[in-house]
Amino acid sequence: MKRKMSVLLIAVMIVALLSACVKNSNAKPSGSSDPKSEAASGKDVLTIATTAEQGTIDPAVTMDNSAWKLTYPAYERLVEYDGGSTKVKPGLAKEWKVSKDGKTWTFTLNEGHKFADGTAVNADAVKKSFERLRKIGKGPSEVFSVISNIKAENPTTVIFTLKENFPPFISTLAANYGSIVNPKVMDHEQNGDLGQNYLATATMGSGPYKLAKWKKGEYVRLDQNKYASKKPSFKKVYFKIVADPSAQRLQLEKGEIDIAEGIPVDQINAVKKIENAKLLQEPSLLVEYVYVNSTKGNKALKNKKVRQALSYAVDYDKLIDAVQQGYGTKMRGPIPKGLWGHDDQAKQYTYDKDKAKALLKEAGASNLSLDLLYSDNKTWWETEALTIQSNLKDIGVKVNLKKVAYATSREMMDKGEFDLALGMWSPDFGDPYAFMNYWYDSKNFGLAGNRAFYKNDAVDQKLRKAATLNDAKQREKLYQEAQNTVIDDAPYILLYQKDFLMPISKGVKGFVYNPMLESMYNLADMSK
Amino acid sequence: MKKMIINRLGLLIFVVFGVTLISFLLSHVIPGDPARMMVGQRANEETLQQVRQQLGLDQPLLIQYETYMKGILSGDLGTSIRTQKPVIDDLEAFFPATMELAIIAFIFALVIGIPLGVLAAVKKNSFWDHASRIFSIGGVSTPVFWSGLVIILIFYGYLNWFPANGRLDMNIHPPTHITGLYIVDSLLSGDMVALKSSLHHILLPAIVLSYAQLAVITRQVRASMLEIMEQEYIRTAIANGIHGPFLFFRYALRNALIPTITVVGISFGSLLGGAVVTETIFGWPGMGKYVVDSIAYLDFPAMMGFTLLIAVGYVIINLIVDLTYYVLDPQIKG
């Protein structure tokens, strides 16, 4: 009998083995390039715990912040964000000028920048990089759809011609999709994919680091780019997947990781008790708000007074406490604090039940019943939805919670199939355009940005004008005017700006938080 | 027996067809647009259409299905929308880890579960029976996310005996790729450093994962043993002076195992497909987390590739279960 049992076990093992032996013939000998053992900790190694595996990391394809944390240090851009500010400074370009009509941008490149294979970064590489991105035609290409032509005048001069004046253009170049890719990527082209398959798990940039190893589901390792103009302190940087927050906390405590990215706000206070770690806290540009469907939802929402009543009904301070443990700042106007264009004097709705009830009465809206759409994408949305439901109940508005899968929620938001919906927004470039024009211009209905399906011709006009002026003062004035109108029209309930919270080992120095580079690190300036 | 195997393998074709058809249809009626997920939130209609075209989503469903099936027949499961890599490559990267964990957990469950079940039946209503019952009720009723964390807290947090994350220390190079199962590969290539590290890493997740299965197996073995022990041939055997372990293992267990095997087969299948929570807690780089991420991203090709793999796995497991019946009970002829 025992023999039979072992036969059974062996049979199971064999089938298991056979089914696991996929593409056995591709087997590679071990230890070819990597040494058997390399230090995983120490002064010249940084280990960051992340919660999820990155998708593709091709800068011309990905729109995902978690992929950007790998690409940002591996590539360089024409201009870079300056330290912790939303303004830009020279990067690959040492200087640039804009023509009077704002349509021609001429960049002069710094010499001496090299890709990780030693090739020099020149104007032709810049041109080809943007052309590749536009040809691929995925998410990032939308941002650069304003470009009509790129010309490499000489090895150090590149000229962009725009279809129209677009002042935020310079900020878009500092974002991740402005990363300049080595033109040799085309050597890796398969079936006309412009190297997308290759670059999904590789880097070909001139940044201080390059991707050295990607162990699926376990970690990604960045090594120094030996040709980079800057020599960072860390020789290796690991992005290690530790999906469970409690495990991250334990590993931070034991010094096995230096930065823990995935500890949710309800567990963050425990981090403060860890002796060798500290909690970084900075206001971020990530904002939480509720879309109030002004044209396609419940008919009552077309009435401005009803929308204002909703904005008065929310107990903001309690909500921030309940949902973010107090780690948030109540919004004042749609442009968040920390971004230029923010208005300290803008009107702010405060919790006022009686006023809300009075407004509803004036509007003649009684027995209002609204659907609140949200998904499981953010862990705190459940609490947030429940808090809003109970707040609105106090003014006699019934809220039906409608929780759906993330992808489904996006589809419904795009089509306007909701009354109220929870949302989060972060700007792609450091310009008030990233809030005002996306949120309120009626040409951006749906997921594109105007998720409240809000239309006001006067606002449209002001926003479109602001988007084509080069004078920052004039633009600011226009945005301020538009802001006053949209706050009064209340197509969104503006909740709060989330705080950026990062548990980091006390030994790590030099990290600078830039609100435009959420979840990215200035690795080259950091040390232990 | 040969006929049975051939029949079963023939059946596999229908299973593959059925599974792909159903999963294809299901994944395409879910509201949600993978092209949308891919281009990001601010893309305009033109970009969106372009991506839909690239993914073939603008084609009629039937044509899309036909393209997909043609791909499968040539060994191509499509390209993952999220990772932009061929699904087969992604599965190849994640499947061995899940398989290895499932096998070790399964061995634990069998090696501990069966003797424990026999013990509980033989010493019915004694201390051992009660202890085994409490142990197995604990197994079925303890959620994995809790037992996993407790085990990490004790063995990693306090005692520091075992690591809490991954398959191998980050500073150890994986053994030569032969099967993708690190334990087997390191044995085959004589890489003792990798062997030690992978055993070290797999122990905690395998224990946690096996606990629930172990409980089910123990209860099943106990129940069948008790039933068998009442049967006349056992009484005859006892009357003939056969007793002790010889009676239990040689005479009773063999018959008691037949219903158990069915449970065991299903339990192995669920170990393969349902290790998501364990994999998440222990940072185990298996398919579970890959699939959950893919679902959130509406990554159809990845979801269907996984479903197909698990379905084929179940057919193979069922085949093994049937073959095992055959071995255990010669009366059953395929």
Asked if this assembly's ipTM is beyond 0.90, the reply is no
Which tens digit of pLDDT belongs to each residue from A414-432? 899 999 999 999 888 888 9
| A21 within some domain | no
pLDDT of residue A509: 94
Find the CB nearest B170 among A240, A377, A406. Answer: A240
Nearest CA in chain B to A65: B40
Does B176 contact A405 at a Cβ distance shorter than 8 Å?
no
Does A20 contact B179 at a Cβ distance shorter than 8 Å?
yes
Strand partners, A90: A79
Which positions in chain A touch B242 (Cβ < 8 Å)? none
**What is the nearest CA distance from A151 to chain B, expressed in angstroms?**
24
* Residue A345 and residue A337 in contact, taking contact as beta carbons nearer than 8 Å: no
Nearest CA in chain B to A35: B173
Best probe of the B interface among A3, A9, A22, A238, by most B CBs < 10 A, is A22
In this structure, are B63 and B96 located in the same domain?
A: no
Which positions in chain B touch A142 (Cβ < 8 Å)? 39-40, 42-44, 47
Which tens digit of pLDDT belongs to each residue from A353-382? 999 999 999 999 888 999 999 998 888 899
| B159 within some domain | yes
Nearest CA in chain B to A246: B149
Which positions in chain A touch B34 (Cβ < 8 Å)? 407
Which tens digit of pLDDT belongs to each residue from A395-417? 999 999 999 988 788 889 989 99
In this structure, are A456 and A434 located in the same domain?
A: yes
In this structure, are A480 and A510 located in the same domain?
A: no
Residue A65, judged by CB atoms within 10 A of its CB (0-12, 13-18, 19+), counts as middle
Does A407 contact B34 at a Cβ distance shorter than 8 Å?
yes
| A20 within some domain | no
Best probe of the B interface among A191, A253, A447, by most B CBs < 10 A, is A447
| B158 within some domain | yes
In this structure, are A320 and A241 located in the same domain?
A: no
Q: Which domain holds residue B329?
A: 90-333
In this structure, are A199 and A339 located in the same domain?
A: no
A22-26, A270-274, A338-342, A494-498: range with highest mean pLDDT = A494-498
In this structure, are B104 and B59 located in the same domain?
A: no
Per-residue pLDDT averaged across A289-310, rounded? 94
User: What predicted TM-score, i.e. pTM, was given to this entire model?
Assistant: 0.81
Per-residue pLDDT averaged across A32-59, rounded? 72
Closest CA to A462 of A447, A445, A449, A480: A480
pLDDT of residue A447: 84
In this structure, are B147 and B31 located in the same domain?
A: no
| A24 within some domain | no
| B83 within some domain | no
Taking the C-alpha atoms of residue A47 and residue A242, their distance in angstroms, rounded to an integer, is 11
In this structure, are A255 and A294 located in the same domain?
A: no
- HSE at residue A168, side-chain half, CA atoms within 13 A, is 26
Find the CB nearest A22 among B43, B92, B164. Answer: B92
pLDDT of residue B101: 93
In this structure, are B312 and B197 located in the same domain?
A: yes
3-state SS class at A327: coil
Find the CB nearest A30 among B107, B173, B281. Answer: B173
Which positions in chain A touch B313 (Cβ < 8 Å)? 19
Per-residue pLDDT averaged across A207-227, rounded? 93
pLDDT of residue B41: 64
Lowest mean pLDDT among A68-77, A261-270, A288-297, A486-495: A261-270
The domain that contains A195 carries what CATH number? Answer: 3.40.190.10
Q: What is the enclosing helix (H) or strand (E) of A94? A: strand A93-98
In this structure, are A233 and A322 located in the same domain?
A: no
Does A216 contact B285 at a Cβ distance shorter than 8 Å?
yes
Find the CB nearest B39 among A34, A138, A215. Answer: A138
Task: Tally the domains of chain B.
Answer: 2
Per-residue pLDDT in tens (0 to 9) along chain B, 334 residues:
778 778 878 888 888 888 888 888 887 777 777 777 777 666 667 777 877 887 788 888 888 888 888 888 888 888 888 888 889 988 988 899 999 999 999 999 999 999 999 889 888 889 999 999 898 888 888 888 888 999 999 999 888 899 888 888 888 888 888 888 999 999 999 889 999 999 999 999 999 999 888 888 998 899 988 888 888 888 888 888 887 777 887 778 888 888 888 888 888 887 877 688 888 888 888 888 888 888 877 788 898 898 888 888 888 888 888 888 877 777 765 4
In this structure, are B111 and B242 located in the same domain?
A: yes
| A6 within some domain | no
The domain that contains A456 carries what CATH number? Answer: 3.10.105.10
Last residue of a domain, one of B29, B47, B73: B73
In this structure, are B176 and B228 located in the same domain?
A: yes
In this structure, are B54 and B203 located in the same domain?
A: no
| B108 within some domain | yes
pLDDT of residue A486: 96
| B243 within some domain | yes
pLDDT of residue B145: 86
pLDDT of residue B215: 87
**Proportion of chain A above pLDDT 70, given as a percent:** 92
In this structure, are B102 and B237 located in the same domain?
A: yes
Last residue of a domain, one of B22, B39, B73: B73
| B78 within some domain | no
pLDDT of residue A377: 81
* Residue A387 and residue A324 in contact, taking contact as beta carbons nearer than 8 Å: no
Which tens digit of pLDDT belongs to each residue from A7-17? 444 544 444 44
pLDDT of A37 > 60? The answer is no
In this structure, are A220 and A103 located in the same domain?
A: yes
In this structure, are A145 and A79 located in the same domain?
A: yes
In this structure, are A491 and A513 located in the same domain?
A: no
Task: Tally the domains of chain A.
Answer: 2
In this structure, are A234 and A298 located in the same domain?
A: no
| A4 within some domain | no
3-state SS class at A44: coil
In this structure, are A494 and A517 located in the same domain?
A: no
Does B179 contact A448 at a Cβ distance shorter than 8 Å?
no
**Chains A & B: contacts with CB separation below 8 Å:** 231
Give residues with Cβ within 8 angstroms of A269, minimum separation 6.
A325
DSSP code per residue over B160-225: --S--SSSS-TTBPPPP-SSS-HHHHHHHTT-HHHHHHHHHHHHHHHHHHHHHHHHHHHHHHHHHH
Per-residue pLDDT averaged across A47-58, rounded? 89
Strand order in the sheet with A93-98: A93-98, A104-109, A157-162, A147-154
Taking the C-alpha atoms of residue B286 and residue B305, their distance in angstroms, rounded to an integer, is 14
In this structure, are B44 and B183 located in the same domain?
A: no
Mean pLDDT score of chain A: 88
In this structure, are A258 and A128 located in the same domain?
A: yes
pLDDT of A29 > 50? The answer is no
Taking the C-alpha atoms of residue A269 and residue B160, their distance in angstroms, rounded to an integer, is 24
In this structure, are B68 and B94 located in the same domain?
A: no
Does B149 contact A448 at a Cβ distance shorter than 8 Å?
no
Between B29 and A442, name the one with better pLDDT.
A442
Which positions in chain B touch A246 (Cβ < 8 Å)? 149, 152-153
Closest CA to B156 of B165, B166, B144: B165
Q: Which domain holds residue A193?
A: 33-282+502-528
- For residue A304, give both structure tokens: 């401005």
| B105 within some domain | yes
The domain that contains B177 carries what CATH number? Answer: 1.10.3720.10
Find the CB nearest B253 among A1, A7, A197. Answer: A1
pLDDT of residue A40: 46
In this structure, are B41 and B187 located in the same domain?
A: no
| A105 within some domain | yes
pLDDT of residue B40: 66
**What is the nearest CA distance from A39 to chain B, expressed in angstroms?**
6
In this structure, are B261 and B127 located in the same domain?
A: yes
| A3 within some domain | no
pLDDT of residue A205: 95
